[in-house]
Amino acid sequence: MLRAVIFDFDGVITDSEVLHLRSFNHVLAQYGVEISIKDYYKEYLGLSDLDCFKALIDGNVLQKPAKGIEALAEEKTEVFEELAKTEGKIIAGVRDFLEMLRQNKMPMAICSGALMAEIELILEQARLRSFFEVIVSAEFVRKGKPNPEGFLLTLKKLNHERQDVIFPNQCIVIEDSHWGLEAARAAGMHSVAVTNSYDAEQLTLADKIVAKLGELSIDALQELCD
């Protein structure tokens, strides 16, 4: 039985992955480094900002800067927030899908490697914040996706003060990357992948793959948890 739906944010609710890449490259330019679109989608898209900078250093793409990755991440956040104010867009069909879930009294949450300020900014601008009971962002976890920590924490928060406990196998995670799908599986949750960022061939860990959320009915979602 389906009891909750947990969304990734970037690439599922908002079309902001390209804004993240531009923000990273703005910060990296001072070190003579640029991430290509191909490499970003292959290596870094599913990572938190801190993990992305760490991966660049560990892969010898970026020499370890004196100011540290925390400072780089702060710079990147400032650039992203400015871009998001003017260029952040909600993916077509998302609002109608959220309305459908609300009409069916389905609890909804977000679990994302993005920062809370970034998520809140875009949700408030789009007037979507009220749909979500819980938001777990990068600041809440020690290990990002593909580690299941974020999804398990999201479920814990959803269950706070709930007498009728929701179990992992009663949750559907909606993701756009294999990192998120790995995390959902490790958390014991069902998953749906949308092909906004990757082709279906790269999302085979999902229980169901769709091109857009409008393809999903409440009955189709329920079937995944039966």
At 108, which helix (H) or strand (E)?
strand 108-111
Beta-carbon contacts of 226 under 8 Å, excluding residues fewer than 6 positions away, are 1
- With beta carbons less than 8 A apart as the criterion, state whether 144 and 51 touch: yes
In CATH, which of 3.40.50.300, 3.40.50.1000, 1.10.3720.10, 3.40.50.720 is domain 4-15+88-225?
Answer: 3.40.50.1000
Average the pLDDT over 61-84 and give the result.
Answer: 90
Residue with tokens 């079309």: 15
Q: Do domains 4-15+88-225 and 17-87 have the same CATH topology?
A: no
Contact 134, 112 (CB under 8 A): no
pLDDT tens figures, 7-20: 999 999 998 888 89
Report the mean per-residue pLDDT for the chain. 94
- Domain 17-87 of CATH type 3.20.20.10: no
The span from the CA of 108 to the CA of 125, in Å, is 19
pLDDT tens per residue across span 15-59: 888 889 999 999 999 999 999 999 999 899 888 899 999 999 999
The CA-based angle 136-107-85, given to 5 degrees, is: 50
pLDDT at residue 146 above 90? yes
pLDDT of res. 103: 98
Enter the tokens of residue 218.
């409440």
| Each residue's pLDDT tens digit, 165-207 | 999 999 999 999 999 999 999 999 999 999 999 999 999 999 9
Handedness of CA 49, 51, 53, 56 (dihedral sign): negative
Which helix (H) or strand (E) element contains residue 134? strand 134-136
Pairing of strands 171-175, 134-136: unpaired
Q: Which two structure tokens, joined as six digits, stand for 161?
A: 């003060």
Report the predicted TM-score, pTM, of the whole model to 2 decimal places.
0.83
Residue 38 carries which side chain, given as an amino acid letter? Answer: K
Query: For the chain, which residues make up each domain, given as ranges?
Result: 4-15+88-225, 17-87
Sign of the dihedral defined by the CA atoms of residues 142, 143, 148, 154, in that order: positive
Asked if residues 6 and 173 have their Cβ atoms less than 8 Å apart, the reply is: yes
pLDDT more than 70, % of the chain: 100
